[in-house]
Structure 1
Amino acid sequence: MTPDTVEVAFITPRHLAGGGDPAWITVPLHRACGWTYDDDPLMPRVVLTSPDKTSVLRLEPHTDGQWWVLHHFAHGGRPAWYASFGARTPVEIIAGFVDALTDPAAPRTGPSDPFEPLRRQSWEPAPGAVGLVSPDGTTRMERLVDEADPGAWFVTTTLGPEHLVWQARFGENTPPHLIEAFATALTEPRPVWRTNGALGLPTLDPKFINRGVEDVLAANVAGALAGRVESLSNRQHDAPPVRPNPPEPPAPRASHRR
């Protein structure tokens, strides 16, 4: 590593990459999508509200529980719904959800199957549940059919029965195309990148993750977020319903270490 480079870890599968930088979500929502924020310097939280006032995203760090909570209010005859994400839910996966929510060209109605992206990546049926399990056995996506929260969706990543890594929850009225977008980002095979080496990773066990460490140009690392903001800003209101490609991870420059 030189003064011009930063040590970056490239990690797969992405569901075990740790939470990442919250700015990957909050900055584009504000700068590219026009969400306004409430700033309380005495509280360690972020509150962002959509331009039409129908959605509010709260990022509020807790020792336990869900760090990210999005409430969408009843509007235009459509019921209210919620989505929440644990602290170690990778921001790249959350981005799949919020980018679909804010995409002016995304379909709002029509058939959508949140399980389909998982089937394409060889996820298997979850025993005793309406759901699927990842090939490494660490993550399951299921739809509940109980009286407490009928129709709700849960995505849960664990490392053994006593080690919950993160959980995403979607209320029964969450638009299916948004959950499908989350599932698509969840199963994306490309690695995600993290600075500061292994800091924040839930495991370094090579049975579960592949971790390649590279020296990357500092300018590329710094420019990744700006590239994401620009990509989302360029979405057109009259464009066909396609998802924008997120910026690629910063390109490695020098040595490769494990």
Structure 2
Amino acid sequence: MPHDIDVVLVAPRYLAGPGDPAWVTVPLHRASGWSTAEDPLVPRVILTSPDQLAQLRLAPDPDPAEPWWTLRHAHHGDQRAWSMTFDAHTPVEIIAAVTDALTAPAAPPLAPGDPYTMLYAAGWNAPRHHDGHTSVEGMTAPDGLARVDRTVHEDGRTASWIVETSVHHLPSVWRAYVDGNTPPHLVAALFGALADETPLVREPHRVPHLAATHGRTSAGQVSAETFAFALEGRTTALARRRTPPPIPAPAPPSVPKPRRAR
């Protein structure tokens, strides 16, 4: 008989904890054709895009100060090389927002202007300060637990983005570093995932303590089938993005009606 599974809905999502890395790696491999480096002696996951320009490394390190996720893209045409890194406790759904945008068949059109549009809409605040020849533009979540900073030089060149979740005097929960050359639509995808107010689903034993003490949690239930096939459904949906629509069958040629003999 089908049964239900207990889950916890966690908000804000940046406190939800890491989740299952397969949420990122499986769609990249199965839906977008990224190849894997098959080496059982190396305790890390390496995925490379079909064009060999992008690579994702998942290299768990005993040192919590080191990033677990590294996404790199080589110089190509007018696009300079860029990279992103994410710490171990970054929710996989936030990383997936970036990889989904990267592997989309075409980048979505972006309106020119403020890169913080989605954060503004979610009520994030905008402090700013100057430090010598650079200025730091920042956005802080309404609860004060997450922030985005960007260092901009006087010549307008962006040095880097830093996304950080932290609780008062405690060490950072997680950090992400975004190269200043990262394409705008990927930065927008990252910020959109941060601003998204939809709670993330976690198993009860995987809910971080900080989520219970500083976030909002609520108990719920989902069917075992829904829970088991969530990743498969996500992968299938992403694979459909790359499937061209069927070519309509050509119309049959018109045959002239026979004339009556007189």
TM range (shorter): 0.7 to 0.9
Alignment partner, residue 83 of structure 2: 82
Distance of 1:14 and 1:86 partners within structure 2: 15
Alignment partner, residue 126 of structure 2: 125
* 2:138 and 2:148 in contact (8 A); partners too: yes
* 2:23 and 2:231 in contact (8 A); partners too: yes
Alignment partner, residue 234 of structure 2: 228
* 2:10 and 2:216 in contact (8 A); partners too: yes
Q: Which of the numbers 158, 168, 174 marks the counterpart of 2:166?
A: 158
* 2:166 and 2:174 in contact (8 A); partners too: yes
Displacement of 1:184:
0.5
Distance of 2:196 and 2:206 partners within structure 1: 22
Alignment partner, residue 180 of structure 1: 188
| TM-score (norm. length: structure 2) | 0.83
User: For residue 19 of structure 1, what is the amino acid of its counterpart?
Assistant: P
Q: Which of the numbers 147, 156, 160 marks the counterpart of 1:140?
A: 147
- Say if 1:108 and 1:190 are closer, same or farther in 2 by CA, change over 3 A: closer
Displacement of 1:98:
0.7
* 1:139 and 1:156 in contact (8 A); partners too: yes
Structure 1 unpaired stretches of 5+: 240-258
SS of structure 2 residue aligned to 1:184: helix
- Say if 1:198 and 1:180 are closer, same or farther in 2 by CA, change over 3 A: same
Displacement of 1:110:
7.2
- Say if 1:218 and 1:237 are closer, same or farther in 2 by CA, change over 3 A: closer
SS of structure 1 residue aligned to 2:26: helix
* 1:18 and 1:200 in contact (8 A); partners too: yes
Q: Confirm or deny that 1:213 pairs with 2:223.
A: no
Displacement of 1:52:
0.4
* 2:150 and 2:160 in contact (8 A); partners too: yes
Alignment partner, residue 11 of structure 1: 10
Structure 2 unpaired stretches of 5+: 130-135, 246-262
Aligned length: 235
Distance of 1:12 and 1:187 partners within structure 2: 11
Identity %: 43
Displacement of 1:212:
1.3
* 2:60 and 2:68 in contact (8 A); partners too: yes
Displacement of 1:237:
7.1
1:70-125 residue CA offsets vs partner (Å, 9 max, x unmatched): 11001123210001111111111111111111001224887364311100101001
**How much is the aligned-residue C-alpha RMSD, in angstroms?**
2.3
